[in-house]
Structure 1
């Protein structure tokens, strides 16, 4: 079993991560905001995976065992917050939208973490105000606990482009459950339908591929969309811009 590192204080810092480099499972006694100034960052817990390009940030509550992974050359900006400061009033991980002002506040606050002067305290106050106003984003890919559901999800994780229906996937995975049972498990355990979960998985994979410079047409094919235009449409509705103009994309 992999050892879980306990780092009581969640440091405010900047850390450069090469693509596919991760930070092993660990936990803090503080809350943490994790933001990728470049590239794409994912955070995984027992409850699933959250992914964030440069237009999003990750909220990681105190005590949450989590691991990071970078896709594309990633500058990880971490903001540690004591438990008395919970601007989102959340005790579960989440993805939040990052507009131009919030981005600049995070970059500025992490630039000189040893400064404890009045200007920095004012900067933190504005940062917390912006976090309170930041909308949450549905970029969570929940992880199944039921072994029948886990077997199906594992097939799709291995190949997000797999276009088989739920009945065929269940049979191939040896799940021993009917399509109706698996469909019910998606809703009750993961809080979304099978098509919604598969689309979320494909979007997660698309973000990772775009971050390492994969062409849009290749991303569409490898993630299971019927055409590049279909992929672009889904991506634009999810992120507000086209994959070709994705901020975390390598140029």
Structure 2
């Protein structure tokens, strides 16, 4: 008979891990060790926000997104806000149906329910609660089909490899509110605007301004998960006013910062807009 694995508790973390996946309850700021797996895996934050760091960049995973990390990619996770992290591993036969690079997908209502069912608190080594192995296989196929129908989301921030882009990225990671132009940043790191623009296009597949907006949205998701209000978050991330921040945030995340905070905080203490 399969032996149920006991939950492990370290530094405030409660973990339930099975060969097929797992569930980790993490306090805000907790991070996993750097690791890689022979199977690709999906991660979902039933509450809180996850940051998934790989050599390709960082994905931010709020409660309406699912992140995919293919097999063999070195990665680590970090929780922002108290986070209920769910993990589902995919067999190679299913993994080949999703991208071969780290990605973030919009989580449909059905995808969320399947993820929660597959990682329920009473799981064991062989099956999700109440499901036979064949039923679990069908649920996994439904989940993958849902993700294949969903567009990849712009919540993956690619990591620069060129030394000049890395230097620029360090400046903006340290101060995402910095509104310096690309020319001004280029002067600071010793590179021309034309060179930096070409590097952003060729290496990261986006413009400098698109990349900086992504960085700012990432930081905003983290600040909101940590309890900061919309106005403070807007200015901390470089927006000139809360209205422009709300518009940009809604365009990328699909909901307003206020509604996002309500969901993250359980409707307690969220600011109104």
TM over 0.5: yes
Q: Do residues 213 (structure 1) and 231 (structure 2) align?
A: no
- In the alignment, the residues of structure 2 paired with residue 11 and residue 167 of structure 1 have an alpha-carbon distance, to the nearest angstrom, of 49
Match of 1:157 in 2: 173
Q: Partner of 2:75 in structure 1?
A: 66
Number of aligned residues:
241
Match of 1:119 in 2: 135
Cα distance in 2, alignment partners of residues 29 and 85 from structure 1: 14
2:258 to 239, 244, 249: 244
1:86 counterpart = 2:95: yes
Q: Deviations over 1:99-152 (max 9, x none)?
A: 211111100111124343143333333223323222211111111111111111
Residues 88, 131 of structure 1: 8 Å contact kept: no
For CA contacts below 8 A with separation 6 or more, give which structure has more relative contact order.
1
SS at match of 1:71: strand
Deviates more, 1:119-128 or 1:73-82: 119-128
For the Cα contact (< 8 Å) 2:20–2:89, is it kept in 1? yes
SS at match of 1:58: strand
- 2:151 maps to which residue? 135
Name the SS of the counterpart of 1:22 in structure 2: coil
Bigger mean CA deviation after superposition, 199-208 or 83-92: 83-92
Residue matched to 1:57: 66
Q: Does 1:194 align with 2:208?
A: yes
**What's the TM-score once normalised by structure 2's chain length?**
0.84
Q: How has the CA–CA distance of structure 1 residues 103 and 148 changed in structure 2, closer, same or farther, with 3 Å as cutoff?
A: same
TM-score, normalisation: structure 1 = 0.91
Alpha-carbon contact 1:41-1:51 (below 8 Å) kept: yes
Structure 1: 5+ residue stretches without partners: 1-8
Choose which of 184, 187, 190 in structure 2 pairs with 1:171: 187
CA contact (8 A) 1:160 1:202 kept: yes
1:4 corresponds in structure 2 to none
C-alpha distance in structure 2 between counterparts of 1:121 and 1:148, whole Å: 47
User: Unmatched 5+ residue regions in structure 2?
Assistant: 1-17, 269-273
What is the Cα-based RMSD across aligned positions, in Å?
Answer: 1.6
Task: Assess if the C-alpha contact under 8 Å between 1:10 and 1:81 holds in 2.
Answer: no
Matched, 1:37 2:53: no
Checking the alignment, whether the CA contact within 8 Å between 2:55 and 2:73 is kept in structure 1 is: no
